[in-house]
Structure 1
C-alpha cells in the first residue's frame, strides 16, 4: 500500500464503502482478495462484462475493460520551420508541461535554432522525438557528424547490445537536387545494425499505386534512394500489408510521399499495424503511424519461402534427397500406414530444418563480412611494422569489398523476387486497362545516325521480329 497504486486503491475503497455500516469488514475482504492475487503472482481475467466502480456515481457497474493508451514512443517531424532559438525553447517548455521534463528527448536539425533573430522565409528542418518508454531511451544520441543541414538527422541507441539507428529524412522538392541528396546519405554502419527510416521522400515509390498521375520528374533520384534503402535492409510495412491499396499522403492528396520503413526481420517479428490518418500536428501531409509490438496480435507472419540460394548448396540438396529416400523406405514397410500423415510430417520437419539452414546461411554472410572487415582494419593498423603492408591491405580490402558486393547483390535479388511476386499477381490491378495516353517515338538511331522518317523509325523496332 506504499505505492501510488496502493494509495489509489485505498481511496477507491473508501469511496465504495463510505455508506456501508460494515465498511471496515468489506474493505478487509477486498484487500484479502487482492493479497491472494499478489501471492499467486498473476491476475488473469477477461476484458468483457467486468464489475467496475464508477467514480462519478459512487456505484458499482458493469462494463468492458479498456487498456490505457500507450504513449507514442517516436515521432519524426519534417518542415519544422522554427523561428529562432527562443521558438525552440518555447516548444520544449510546452512539451515538458504535456509529457514531463525528463520523459522525452528531442533532437533537431534546423539552422534557425542557432539564431536569435527572425528570418522572413522559413522552410525545411527536421526533428526527432523519443518518449522515455521506448527501449534504449537512456542510450539515445544524435550522430551530428552525419547530419545533412535541415534535411537529414540520425539518432543511435542500443537494443540489448544491438546498434539501432533512427533516420529522419526530408528529401528536396526540386528534382535536380534529389540524386545528390540520396547519394550523400550514409551507408557505412555495423553489419548487425537495425535501421528505422521515416520521412518525406518527395517521390512516389511505385508510380502505378503511389501516384494519381504520372510525372516526368517522378523517377528522378529514385534509383539512388532505393540503393540507399537496400543498403540499410529496410522494407515498407504498409505496402507489404496493403499491396493494392491507394492512399495519397502528399499535399493535394495526389501521391504518397511519406514512408516509414523498418528492418525486414523487425517487421516480420513485431509488426502490428500501419496506417495513414489525418495530421494532428497541422501539416498538409497525412500522418503515417507504424505500430511495432512484442505482444500478441492478430496479424500472422508472412509465409516463408525456400530461398533459391539454399538449393545451390550440394550438401543441402543431398540431405533432402537422403531424407526423401528414408521416407520412401518407411512407407514401403507397410502398405496399411497413413501415408498422408507421414508425408505431412516429413514436410513439416524439412521446412523447420531448412529454416534453420536459412538462418545459419544469413548469419554466415554477416559473420564473414565482419571477419573480413576486422582483417582489413588490422592490416591497416599494423602497416607501420609490416614491409608488405600495402599489398596486405589491398588484398584484405579487395576480399572485403568482393564479399560485401556479393552480399548486397543477394539482398537486391531478394527484394526483386519479392516485388516481382507481389506486382505480378493475377489481380484486377494487374489486368487493368492501360492509361489513355501515348508516348510517341519520333526518332531512332540506325548505324549511329539519327533518323526521323516514320517508316524508318517503325522498321527499327520491328525488323528484328
Structure 2
C-alpha cells in the first residue's frame, strides 16, 4: 500500500508512547481493585467489558476508587449493563473506559446513543491529542451467534475522514478460522463478515495479526478461540513503535487481555549503544574487519588535519561493519525457520487444504521441523542466559531483585511552584519560567563576571604552596607511548567497561599492536594541540576549618570573593558553623544547635550530640532501607547481597564515628535476621516464628559454609579501631603541629584544650590508661564520647605499656603531675596529693618532660 494514501500524522501523535489495554472481566466488582491498581494505573486507556454491575451503586463504588487512586484527576466512563429484573438474576453486558491522568489524551467526552441493540454493549468516547481527534470504541458483542451480525451492522460508522479510531473489546467471533481457533465452527465465525465490513468502513486493522501474521494465540476462557481484539486506524498501525501483545493470567478474569504498548528501539534505556557479542568477535571475519579499518587509518594518518574527527569516523566505521556482519549472521540463522514459515503460510492458503491428506501431512512435517528449530534455539538461549546469570551474580545482585509495584506510567510533573515573589504558579509557562529563573540565579550575569586573568590573579596567591613542581609538570605533559597502551590492552579483563573509544576491550584485543599505535597518535595530538582542562570547577558543598572566629570570617569572605570572580553564587542561607566554644552574637543564626543537628559528609554532627541520638538517626535510616528492600529481594542470595553492598556499608560508614554499644549491636543483629527470614522489621521484638536457617550459619564465614555476615558488635568495634588508628596516625606521625592534616585539627584542638597544661595530645598517647588521672581526664566536658572511646581503644591496642619503644630515653616520657616520674609510679597513690600543685605549676611553665629540666 502506498504511503500517499495516509495523511501526515501530527507530531504529538508520533511522539506518543501508548499504553492501552482491553479486558473482559466477567464481573468488574470482583476484580476492580486489582485492575485499577495494577493495570489502569499503568496504562493510558483501559477498556473493560462485562462489568455486569447488579446495581448502580456498585458502579459508583468503582468510580470512587478510581478517583482516589488518581487524586481526582482520572476519567472514567460507563455504559450501564442490562440490569436484572429480579435481584437474584445476573446482569448482562456493561462497559467501562478509563483514562489515566498522565495520558496525553485530553478533553474526553462520551457520545451517548439510543440504539436498543447497542444498549449495554457499546461505549464511544472522543478525545483530542494535539490537532488530532481520536475516537475510543469499547465493544462487547452478543454471545448469541444469531444476533451478532445485526449488532455489527448497527455500530456507528459515520465519522469525518480525519478522525482516528482505537477499538477494544470482546467481539465473540474469530477473524481467521485457521489462526484464531483450534476448532473452527459456524458459531465462532458468525458475524465475521459484518465485522470486517465495519472495519473497512472505519479503515481500522487488527494490529496484532498485522504484526504476527502466522502466530496462533487464543484469548477465550478455555483458550480455544481468539475473541478479544484491539483495532486501530491503519495510519496508526504504520507507526513502528506501536506493538500489540497479550497479557494472560490476570486474577479474577477468565479472558486474556489485549494490549498496545510502545517499543521504541531508538530510545531504549539502560543497554546503551549496540555492542558486538563475544561469539561474533570469535569469527575470523570480525578480526578481518577490524584489521582492515586500522590499516586504512594508519596509512592515512599523516594527512589528517583533525585526528580526533578521523578517529571518531574509524570507531563508527568499525561498529557499523560489525553490526552489518552481525545482521548477516542472524539472517543466516533465521533463514531455515523463515523458509519453513513461508511454506506453511502458502499451504494454509490452499482451498480445502484440510481435506487433502498429503498437504496435511506436509504441514505436520513442517510444524515438527519448526518445533525442532525452536527447541535448539531455546536450549542455546537458556545456556547463554545461565552463563550470563552466573557472571552477573558474581559482580552484582540486581538479578535477584524485582520491583514490588508496577513501573509508574510517567514521572509526576510539577503541578505548581512558588516563584521568587512567593506566588504559586500552576500553568506550564509559569512553571517553566520559575525554573529558568531559579537556575539562572545560581550564576551571575555574563557581563558581571570577571575575566580569566582576574580569576587567575585571585587564585594565584591562594595556590602558591600547592602548585605542581617542575618535574610533576613535565611528567604530566609527557606523551603517552604505544607500549603503555599495548600493556593496558593486553592486561584488561573481559567484559570490562569500555574506554573513551566506546568499544569493548574484546575489540581492542583482536589487534592490540595496531590499536596501541592508533591510540598513541590520537592522545598525543590531543594532549599537545588542546588544553586538557578548559574550565574551573567548584564543589557545591564545601567544608572549611577555622582556628578561631577571625579566621572563619576571613574564609567566608574568601569564598564570597571567589564567587564574585567566577560567577557562582554562595548560598548564604545554608551556611552553618559547628563550634564547641562561645561565638559572637553575629554568628548565632549560623550555629548548629544540639537539638537541630546537621550532616557533614553524611555524618550527623552537633555540639555535645549524644551517641544514642546519632545511633537512633542512623538505625532508623537502616530500618527504613531494609523495609524498602525486603519487597525487592526475593532470594536469600539477593538479601545477603543487599546487606553486603547497600544497607550495611552506609550504616557502618556513619556508625564508625559512634562508640560501639552491645545493646545497640544486638538490635542490628535482630534487624538483619528478620530481614533475611522475611519477617516484619521490629528489632526490639525478640520473639519469632520458625526459622529455617540457624543464627550461627548466618554469621559464619563463607569458606566454612555460612552466609558471610558478621555480628554487629565485632564489626562495629573493628570500624572504631580503624578510625582510631587513622586519627592517631594523623597527629602522631607528623613532625610538627603545622603538618597535621586539616581534617583532624578540630579534634586535635579539643584534646589540646582539655589536656592543657599537661602537654600536647601527642604526649597523651603515652599515658597509662588505667591511672586515676586518665580516668578523670576522660570525664572532661571537652572530651567527646567518641574521643573517649578512641583513647580507650588506643590504650588497649598499643604494643607497649607506655606506647613508646623500650629503648626510648626515659627523659622524653611526659611527667604529667608526677604520675609517670621514672621509678615513682608505685608511689603515686601516696604522694599525688602533695605533688600535684607543684606539678601543675611546672606544667604551666612548659616543663612537662625530664628533658626540660636538663636544658
Please, what TM-score do these two structures have when normalized by structure 2?
Answer: 0.27
Structure of larger gyration radius = 2
Please, what TM-score do these two structures have when normalized by structure 1?
Answer: 0.48
Q: Which has the higher strand share?
A: 1
